[in-house]
């Protein structure tokens, strides 16, 4: 169905109110019953709007499901921002991992749509925001001299393992989930990409190289050629 969408720019208050009502209704249906429950009829009845309003504001139901998923993830992102501060950046990673797994188990339908129905090339602002927070946590570990791998690679390893654990536990009935699986995987991953404050043979060189690459200022200390060569050396060491 080709329906003209709302023009770009700031939404009028009544339009913003309708969008919020529709997204909230879709999110509640998605969270409780799954994506098949997010139908035009069900959403319009729950939100108290005409079906055509949904298409005018969102274009199609796929876009509405994406918007509803993003609204659900807003709560998860807010919880990540509200994690209590800690002096140990690796402990902050632990807390972030536990929050990620916990959100997936508490909201499996929303999580499954976000991570299980991901379409390459389609913007996913909620997932991008979560990835940025994870990268920030990993950067803090690197700046503390406790990361043994490149920041991007370490973030990908942690993200991949965390998603795998969450999806694995989600597939089991709640009374059959062994949460120690999450703890075991979490600690194994952290052991692979981080190190303690005590030097650990060859890994110590790698963690210092990663830390130095993160902390070097982007100024005129080195010529472009010197900086390029230094970055190559640091990457080789890490």
**DSSP calls for 40-89:** HHHHHHHHT--HHHHHHHHSSHHHHHHHHHHHHHHHHHHHHHTPPP-S-H
For 119, the 3-state DSSP assignment is coil
Query: What is the predicted pLDDT for the residue at 47?
Result: 95
Query: What is the predicted pLDDT for the residue at 14?
Result: 64
- Residue spans of the domains in the chain: they are 1-59, 72-237
Give 1-59's CATH code, choosing from 3.30.499, 1.10.3470, 1.20.120, 1.10.10.
Answer: 1.10.10
pTM of the model: 0.73
d(CA 54, CA 60): 8
d(CA 124, CA 130): 10
d(CA 94, CA 88): 10
d(CA 46, CA 23): 10
* Strands in 51-192 per DSSP E: none
Q: Which of 59, 62, 28, 58 is nearest to 43 (CA)?
A: 28
Q: Residue 194: what are its φ and ψ, rounded to 5°?
A: -130, 170
Q: Tens digit of pLDDT per residue, the chain (238 long)? A: 343 444 444 556 667 889 999 999 999 999 999 999 999 999 999 999 999 999 999 999 989 998 999 899 888 888 877 777 788 999 999 999 999 999 999 999 999 988 877 677 777 778 888 899 999 999 999 999 999 999 999 999 999 999 999 999 999 999 999 999 999 999 999 999 998 744 444 556 776 777 777 777 776 577 888 888 888 887 877 6
Determine contact, residues 163/138, Cβ cutoff 8 Å. Answer: no
């Amino acid at each position: 169905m080709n329906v003209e969408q709302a023009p770009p720019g700031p939404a009028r208050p009544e339009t913003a109110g309708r969008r919020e009502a529709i997204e909230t209704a879709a999110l509640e249906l998605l969270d409780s019953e799954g994506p098949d429950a997010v139908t035009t009829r069900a959403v319009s009845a729950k939100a108290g709007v005409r079906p055509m309003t949904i298409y005018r504001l969102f274009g199609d139901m796929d876009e509405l499901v994406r918007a509803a998923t993003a609204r659900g993830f807003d709560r998860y992102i807010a919880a990540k921002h509200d994690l209590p501060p800690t002096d140990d950046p690796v402990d902050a990673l632990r807390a972030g991992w536990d929050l990620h797994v916990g959100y997936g188990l508490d909201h499996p339908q929303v999580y499954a749509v976000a991570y299980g129905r991901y379409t390459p090339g389609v913007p996913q602002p909620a997932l991008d925001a979560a990835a940025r927070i994870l990268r920030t946590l990993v950067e803090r570990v690197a700046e503390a001299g406790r990361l043994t791998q490149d920041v991007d690679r370490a973030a990908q390893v942690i993200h991949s393992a965390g998603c795998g654990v969450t999806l694995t536990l989600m597939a089991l009935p709640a009374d059959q989930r062994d949460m120690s699986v999450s703890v075991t995987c979490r600690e194994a991953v952290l052991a692979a990409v981080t190190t303690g404050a005590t030097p650990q043979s060859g890994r110590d060189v790698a963690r210092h190289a990663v830390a130095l690459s993160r902390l070097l200022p982007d100024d005129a200390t080195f010529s472009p050629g010197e900086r390029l060569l230094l970055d190559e050396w640091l990457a080789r060491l890490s």
